[in-house]
Structure 1
């Protein structure tokens, strides 16, 4: 939980990249993507490391979208979105995240490595 809290704090101090306010990247509305991940992380932190099935599914879908858009981004845009993806991955791999989804398989296709995250 500490890793997500640290990422969340850094995310809260970062400005949303200006170009992404009015741009779709790879067909994805970046403002909505940001809001969805932020909402799920906020609930997860408030609930002591647990989220419900609906939020887990939203987070899993958004993590896949982040994986898809990251290659199209550079600089601060890439760093901002990588941090979102890192939070999603850590959260979904946490005991509270995996307990919610343990009864059904969910593919996180294209996840690959944890680019930009120093954890193991």
Structure 2
């Protein structure tokens, strides 16, 4: 269990991650860049950081990757069209990234 993270926060992160793993990737986002961000890579990096955070705390390098991804998803989200549920897909990624960043910040204290 992650130190300094509330049980409701961990439960929410776990639920979001499970939902995300079941959700199909929006097909029109494959091989697509928005504002210089590769949308498949952004998905993979945030999902990977979320998975890494569940069994224990994040190391500094993963936390740095996550913070960059959080900034990237915030930048591109307003530019995503909703074809194939892409907005919901990337909003869930943003929420996961924010929760994982919260975990990293709590552990840094």
TM surpasses 0.5: yes
Structure 1 runs not aligned, ≥5 long: 103-120
Higher helix share: 2
- Assess if the C-alpha contact under 8 Å between 1:52 and 1:100 holds in 2: no
SS at match of 1:22: coil
Deviations 1:64-112 (A, max 9, x none): 0000000011321111111111001011113xx114444xxxxxxxxxx
* Displacement over 3 Å in runs of 4+: 99-102
Contact 1:63 1:88 in 2 (8 A): yes
TM-score when normalising by structure 1: 0.76
Matched, 1:82 2:96: no
- Aligned partner of 1:61 in structure 2 is 68
Provide the alpha-carbon RMSD of the alignment.
1.2
Greater relative contact order: 1 or 2 (C-alpha under 8 angstroms, separation 6 or more)?
Answer: 2
Unaligned runs of 5+ in 2: 1-9
